[in-house]
Amino acid sequence: MEQFIIKGGNALSGEVEISGAKNAALALIAAAIMTDETVTIENLPDVRDVNVLLESIEQIGATVERLNPHCVKINGKTIKSTVVDYEHIKKIRASYYLLGALLGKFNEAEVALPGGCNIGSRPIDQHLKGFKALGADVEVEYGMIVTKADKLVGNHIYFDVVSVGATINVMLAAAMADGNTNIENAAKEPHVVDVANMLNKMGANIKGAGTDVIRIKGVKKLKGTDYSVIPDQIEAGTYMMAAAITKGNVLIKNVIPKHLEAISSKLTEIGCKVEEYDDAVRVIGAEKTKSTHVKTLPYPGFPTDMQPQMTVALALAEGTSVVTESIFENRFKYVDELGRMGAHIKVEGNTAIIEGIERYTGASIIAPDLRAGAALVVAGLAAEGYTTVEDIKYIERGYERMDEKLRSLGAQIERVNSEKDITKFKLKVV
C-alpha cells in the first residue's frame, strides 16, 4: 500500500532540478538499438517507464549497461529477436517505438498491440499507416502487430491526426529506408526534435523536425553517439504549478524556458509571476489568482499532460474557469477525487467548468493515472490537513523522486507503506 502522505499548507520555496524528459528518453532508447555501435544516453530520468523499456530491449538481446541512474550505454549489435511480447508491452505503451526501430533496422518486427489506457482509447492507426506507406506489410495476429518488408522505401506520408508517437515511429522506420520520406502534419513536440537530433548525430539525415513537415533522406547505416536527453517539460510544469498553488517562490532549474511558454503564459494570466532565465524559470505565486480558459492542443499549444495540474490550480482561482481537453477523450477522471478535497468542478463531455473555491481540504484519494496522480499531489500541498494519495506507482512511472524533490522545497510529504509510517509522519509534522 505505497502512498504519499502530505500535510498541506507550506509555501514552497528554494530551487529544484528537473530531470531528463521521460517521453524523449523512451524514444531515444528505441532509436539507440538501430545501430550496431554503442550509444550513450545521459540525463536519463530514473523512472519506471524508462527502466521497463531498458528491460524490454535487454530481453530481445541488446546490451544495456547502466553506468549510473542517469546514464546508460546501449548496444544493439547483440539483438537476437525482433519479437517483443505482451508481458513487456502491457507495462509500458511506448514500447511501440520498438516497432519503428526494429522494422527500420531488421525490416521486421513483432510487438504486442498496446492495451487500453485509462485516459481513453489510444489508437495507433497512424503509426501503421506510416509503416505501410514505407512498403511494410502490417497484420494484427493473436494480439501482436506483425510487420515485415522486403525493404523499406521512402514515401510521402500525411497524418490524419497530429500524433507524437506516429511521427517518431515513422521517423525511426524511415531513417534507413531507401530514398526520401516526407512526413506531413507531423507533431512538433520538443521530444520529436530531440529524437531527430539524436538520429542525426547517429548519421541520419532528418530535416524539419519541430515544424509540421519532416524530410528524411534514408541513409545506409547509423553509428554510435553520446547524447543528453532534453529536460522534462511536464515535470517542470508540474513544479511550476506546485509553486503557484502554494503561493510559493521556486526556481525551477535545468529547463528550456521556450518549451514552457504555454504554461508560463497561463500562470501569468491568472496572476502569478514567471521570470525566465537561460535555463531556469522562477515562479512566484499570487495571494489571489484569477480564472481563465484553457484548451489543450498539440505543441506549441497547452499540453494535455499539464491539463490536470492546471485544473488543480484553477480550482482555487477566483471566478469560473473552463478547461477543454481536445487530445484525449477521457482525461477528467481525477475530477471526482478533487471533488473529495472540496473542488467545485462539473465535467460535460470534454470540458470542465470550474468554480473557484477558497481552499482544498485534505482527503484520502487515489491516483488514476500518471499526470492526474501528480496533480492530486500538488492539490494536497495546498490543502488544509492531511492528504493521502494511493496508487503512486502511476506517478513513479514518470516522476523521479517526487517526494524528495518536494521536501527539498519545504513540503511536508512522505512515501509511506503502513499505518505505522503514517502515524510516525503525523507525529513528526505536528
Q: What does the binding site for ligand UD1 look like in residue numbers (CB under 6 A)?
A: 23, 26, 94, 122-127, 161, 163-166, 187, 304-305, 327-328
Rounded to whole angstroms, how far apart are CA atoms 6 and 12? 13
Of 371 and 405, which has the nearer Cβ to ligand UD1?
371
| Helices 22-32 + 48-59 axis angle, to 10 | 10
Residue 308: cis peptide before it, omega within 30 degrees of 0: no
Of 171 and 272, which has the nearer Cβ to ligand UD1?
171
- Catalytic residue check, 71: no
Of 48 and 127, which has the nearer Cβ to ligand UD1?
127
Given the residues 15, 67, 81, 117, select the one marked as catalytic: 117
Rounded to whole angstroms, how far apart are CA atoms 388 and 345? 21
Chain CA centroid to CA 239, Å: 14
Least separation in angstroms between CB 194 and ligand UD1: 11
Of 271 and 300, which has the nearer Cβ to ligand UD1?
300
| Sheet with strand 156-158: strands edge to edge | 156-158, 180-184, 213-217, 205-207
Rounded to whole angstroms, how far apart are CA atoms 212 and 183? 8
Of 125 and 226, which has the nearer Cβ to ligand UD1?
125
Of 203 and 208, which has the nearer Cβ to ligand UD1?
208
Amino acid, single-letter form, for residue 228: S
| Strand, helix or coil for residue 7 | strand
Of 55 and 421, which has the nearer Cβ to ligand UD1?
55
Least separation in angstroms between CB 396 and ligand UD1: 15
DSSP 137: E
Q: Is the dihedral of CA 59, 63, 69, 70 positive or negative?
A: negative
- Residue 26 CB-half CA count within 13 A: 25
Of 67 and 161, which has the nearer Cβ to ligand UD1?
161
Rounded to whole angstroms, how far apart are CA atoms 20 and 76? 22
H or E segment and range at residue 392: none
Residue nearest to ligand UD1 as judged by C-beta position: 165
Least separation in angstroms between CB 370 and ligand UD1: 8
Least separation in angstroms between CB 127 and ligand UD1: 5
DSSP 256-296: -GGGGHHHHHHHHHTT-EEEE-SSEEEEE--SS-B--EEEB
Q: Which of 238, 229, 191 is nearest to 402 (CA)?
A: 238
Least separation in angstroms between CB 304 and ligand UD1: 5
Residue 379 in contact with residue 359, Cβ under 8 Å?
no
Rounded to whole angstroms, how far apart are CA atoms 131 and 174? 9
Q: What is the largest CA-CA distance in the chain?
A: 68
Q: How far is CA 119 from CA 24, 58, 200, 283, 308, in A?
A: 20, 29, 33, 29, 12
Amino acid, single-letter form, for residue 315: A
Q: Is the dihedral of CA 289, 292, 298, 304 positive or negative?
A: positive
Q: Which residues are catalytic?
A: 117
